[in-house]
Structure 1
Amino acid sequence: MIEWSETELLIRDAIREFVDKEIRPHLDALESGTLPPYDIIRKMFASFGIDALARESVSKLLSKERGSGGGGLAFGGQEAMALIAVSELAGVSLGIVASLGVSIGLTAQTILTKGTQAQKERWLPGLATFEKVGAWAITEPDSGSDAFGGMKTSVRRDGDEYVLNGQKTFITNGPYADTIIVYAKLDDGSDVRDREVLTFVLDKGMPGLTQGKPFKKMGMMSSPTGELFFSDVRLGRDRLLGESESGRDGDSKAEVKSGFAVERIGVAALALGIINECHRLCVDYAKNRKLWGQEIGRFQLIQLKLAKMEVARINVQNMVFQLIETLRAGKMPTLAEASAMKLYSSEAATEVAMEAVQLFGGNGYMAEYRVEQLARDAKSLMIYAGSNEIQVTHIAKGLLGR
């Protein structure tokens, strides 16, 4: 794949029209954190018929599984459309994409992958159509990049139930989520770092569950992020994903790593959206902003900045094109490959966005011109889905076969 097809360009233009009409007018409220993004996402789903398609897809999947015990949701040739949508949204409001991606891409996908038939019937329909907002909770205050080893949230058996205690932080959608995936270590008396990690599904309003208020953040303010607190939350076995502690449906570490890979390949599309928007704004500004009687685009230093932006745009776009071809072939990038994509694209987006602020000069530092928002959002990509320092480790381990 070397370019977008005519159909894909039409899809892109339709998304841009929605963005201009339904998102840009609300950017100040979104970026201040006073307007959660969920109603806008639902309106987008309704406008493009995504909710109806999701409802039909989940219905067919569940019906097939009832009859044969097998089945799954495939990409269905929609890889390009999904990545175009993600990219276009990221260029105007990265937080909207984060909230959407965590709810659909992590929460729903985890239930789809690990859940029993009854669990899929119970939670997937609401999540797939975005009637329900999902959260995926693994990060803790003291664990950082040591997500498993440093995990302190625990569950203990109590008869036929489990009792959950602990705390999660930096949880996207955490303050408002209706359905929450929680990872916790089974308190079985073994060494804490070696304990099995189990996966549970919680619902908003359960006794002992407290959803903290949204954090104030440097960027991605349109995506509510907060803490979750668990105090003797009683969980029936029906909330243990797979309803089994051992075997394929037990220990969750391999499944979490797969989720990390999905997040990281998505960062390339997010970065492309930010780069495209910075590129567009800077080219327009260079053509129209005048100093000493001429457009600043005539100055070589400005031209150098624009040229480097174009190189970054081409590189990251080609990375996305390769990803689409990989997915169409029915393959997934390895964790090391996903980490490499995340590392490069997030650094490229951050560099482009910071250069955009510099190109705009004093105006670039003002919220009115939006490049300062793009710079703040781009920086988050170097931390989101695992810090870039951790990506280096995963890439090296992949190369060294460790």
Structure 2
Amino acid sequence: MSNIFSSIKRAYTLFKSVDLAQLDALSKKVDLPKVMASFSALDENQLQGLMKMVEPRKHKELPAIEGDFYHLGDEALKDEDRALQLKVRAFMEKEVQPIVNEYWNRAEFPFELIPKLAELNICGLTYQGYGCPGKSNLMEGILAMEMARVDTSISTFFGVQSGLAMGSIYLLGSEEQKQEWLPGMQQFKIIGAFGLTEPEVGSAAAGGLTTTAKRTGDTWVINGQKKWIGNATFSDVTIIWARDVDDNEVKGFLVRKGTPGISVEKMQDKMALRIVQNGLITLTNCTVHESDRLQNANSFKDTAKVLRMTRAGVAWQAVGCARGAYENALAYTQTRKQFGKPIASFQLVQNHLVEMLSNLTAMQTLCFRLSQLQDQNLLKDEHASLAKVFCSLRTRDVVSKAREVMGGNGILLEYNVARFVADAEAIYSYEGTKEINSLIVGRAITGFSAFV
């Protein structure tokens, strides 16, 4: 009984606070005696429900938006590494986020960011010497995620420079080649590209490259084409992979900018990673000196060492893409109102958000373990391939649900999620398709190779 008296007292206090002018205006709209009679006839539960509706609502403090739901970064990183992660996050949010949609829409590259990226001192993060920081693979993966969380294009540009191009030289180059190229590349004074894929050869690169190299004395003559080559339109050096016509093995060559016989055409009309400048490279009797052949790249097995390393980074990029979509979508649902309240309060929207977070958290934990294996020198092709398969597949699902909870606004660049939806399609395909990576894992677990 005390509860009903309490509700009546609160109602009386509420009505008492209304001035005469407000009462007069209200009486013209409703029958006040009838309202009071109805009010007095309510039971306790009805009174309490009524009071919740008419009393001023207190401001609800919402939880922080956090894509690392299991706090993996907090547990795994030392203080200095955590500080570096936050430094890169601040750079991406302050320098990249405000301009990224504009550049993405125009399919142009923000070259003004390159000197600022150099100041972060994170290029060639895991390499020892040559000005490189010598950090863990886990740290490298987390930074790839931080970049892709804001923009996958910038993360891809960085991955080509730091992973594919520098990695080819670091893993397969001679000491002289490392000394010549790596310090400048680490500071972004030299931009690199990685030319493996061809117009008619993607998944079949291991044994089907049509780009050829013929040795004559101390020089090699290269002929063929390369397609989808990131950074190629402005790179200072491009790693070209070609089939030696004499022994039929794949070899790598450092083709310098301005070398006669190489031309690059920018690829147009992409729907994903529009900031990345992909090039179609044509090599016509392009002559390279033997000293510019990667001295320790003698077969595709050597090329695969680079791909194994960078494929782990692509899995982390997928995590970042999914995280960016999830966090943007969550923020949107907390402020977007329909039927008088935020859509985040609706059951179906919460279900979508939880499914997104579940996928994201599973991806993160998988990639953490993957990087641990890499740091312990236990990483195998099938480990990297499984991560690439799972993460790129789940990213597609996360960005799709992010776009769904945002309704029509999900296809507008200004809300950011549309860019993640498009870029997820590129992640799904590059560094090995789902099918090829699945066959790598399948071979490892069954003992049978299903490759044609």
What TM-score, normalized by structure 1, do the two folds share? 0.87
Name which of 16, 28, 47 aligns with 2:101. Answer: 28
Structure 1 residue 251, shift from structure 2 partner: 2.2
Q: Residues of 1 paired with 2:173 and 2:298: CA distance?
A: 13
Q: Quick check: 1:54–1:129 contact (8 Å CA) kept in 2?
A: no
Structure 1: how far apart are the matches of 2:156 and 2:124?
Answer: 22
Name the aligned partner's letter for residue 140 of structure 2.
A
* Structure 1 residue 279 corresponds to structure 2 residue 304: no
Mark the CA change 1:281 to 1:176 in structure 2 (over 3 Å): closer, same or farther. same
Write the distance in 1 (CA, Å) between the matches of 2:122 and 2:362. 30
Residue 218 of structure 1 and its aligned partner are, at CA, apart by 1.3
Equivalents in 1 of 2:261, 2:82: separation in Å? 49
**1:33, distance to aligned residue in structure 2 (A):** 4.5
Assess, with a 3 A threshold, how the Cα gap between structure 1 residues 158 and 33 changes in structure 2: closer, same or farther. Answer: farther
- Partner amino acid for 1:121? Q
Is it true that 1:338 corresponds to 2:384 in the alignment?
A: yes
- For the pair 1:144 / 2:202, whether they are aligned, the reply is yes
2:227 maps to which of 154, 158, 169: 169
- Can you list the C-alpha shifts for 1:65-84, whole angstroms capped at 9, x where unaligned? xxxxxxxx7x8443343222
Residue in 1 aligned with 2:37?
A: none
Change in Cα spacing, 1:126 to 1:38, as seen in structure 2 (3 Å) is farther
CA contact under 8 A between 2:173 and 2:297: conserved in structure 1? no
Q: For each residue in 1:250-294, what CA deviation from the matched residue of structure 2 results, as whole angstroms up to 9, or x when unmatched?
A: 523111112221222112211221222222122222211111112
Task: Give the structure 2 partner of residue 257 of structure 1.
Answer: 304
Within 5 A, what are the aligned runs for 1:2-401?
Answer: 3-5=72-74, 7=79, 8-46=81-119, 48-50=120-122, 57-58=129-130, 76-188=134-246, 195-242=248-295, 249=296, 251-329=298-376, 331-401=377-447
2:309 and 2:178 mapped to 1: Cα distance? 20
Q: Give the partner amino acid of 1:83.
A: G
CA contact (8 A) 2:195 2:240 kept: yes
Runs of 4+ in 1 over 6 A off after TM superposition: 51-56
**Structure 2 letter corresponding to 1:358:** E
| SS across alignment from 1:185 | strand
Q: Which amino acid aligns with 2:254?
A: V
Aligned counterparts of 2:375 and 2:128: Cα–Cα separation in 1: 22
The alignment-based identity, stated in percent, is: 29
Q: Give the letter for the 1:134 counterpart.
A: G
Name the residue aligned to 1:68. Answer: none
The number of aligned residues is 375
- Compared CA separation, residues 138 and 4, structure 1 to 2 (3 A): same
CA contact (8 A) 2:93 2:150 kept: no
After superposition, what is the alpha-carbon deviation per residue over 1:117-162, rounded to whole angstroms, capped at 9, x for unaligned? 2222222222122111111111111112101332111111223322
Counterpart Cα distance in 2 of 1:56 and 1:338: 22
The CA deviation at 1:340 is 0.6
Give how far 1:401 is off: 2.7
Q: CA shift at 1:49, angstroms?
A: 4.0
Secondary structure in 2 matching 1:376: helix
Q: CA deviation at 1:332?
A: 4.0
Structure 2 SS opposite 1:130: coil
Distance 1:319 1:117, change over 3 A: same
Deviates more, 1:342-351 or 1:295-304: 295-304
**Using the alignment, how far apart are the partners of 1:326 and 1:108 within structure 2?**
21
The separation in 1 between residues aligned to 2:198 and 2:215, in whole angstroms, is 22
Q: What is the SS of the residue equivalent to 1:145?
A: coil
Q: Structure 2 length normalisation: TM-score? A: 0.78
Residues 215 and 226 of structure 1 are in contact (CA less than 8 Å); yes or no, is this contact kept in structure 2?
no
Deviation at 1:311, TM superposition (A): 0.5
Kept after mapping to 1: 8 A contact 2:101/2:414: no
1:215 deviates by: 3.1
Whole-angstrom CA distance in 1 between matches of 2:180 and 2:118:
21
Matches of 2:163 and 2:84, distance apart in 1: 21
Farther-moved stretch of structure 1 (174-183 vs 315-324): 315-324
* Contact 1:214–1:225 (Cα < 8 Å) also in 2: yes
Task: Give the gaps of 5 or more residues in structure 1.
Answer: 60-72, 243-248
Asked whether the 8 Å contact 1:184–1:199 carries over to 2, the reply is yes
Whole-Å Cα distance in 1 between the matches of residues 169 and 332 of structure 2? 46
1:149/1:94 CA distance change after superposition, 3 Å = same
RMSD over equivalenced CA pairs, Å: 2.3
SS at match of 1:347: helix
Q: CA, structure 1 residues 52+232, in 2 after alignment: closer, same or farther (shift >3 Å)?
A: closer
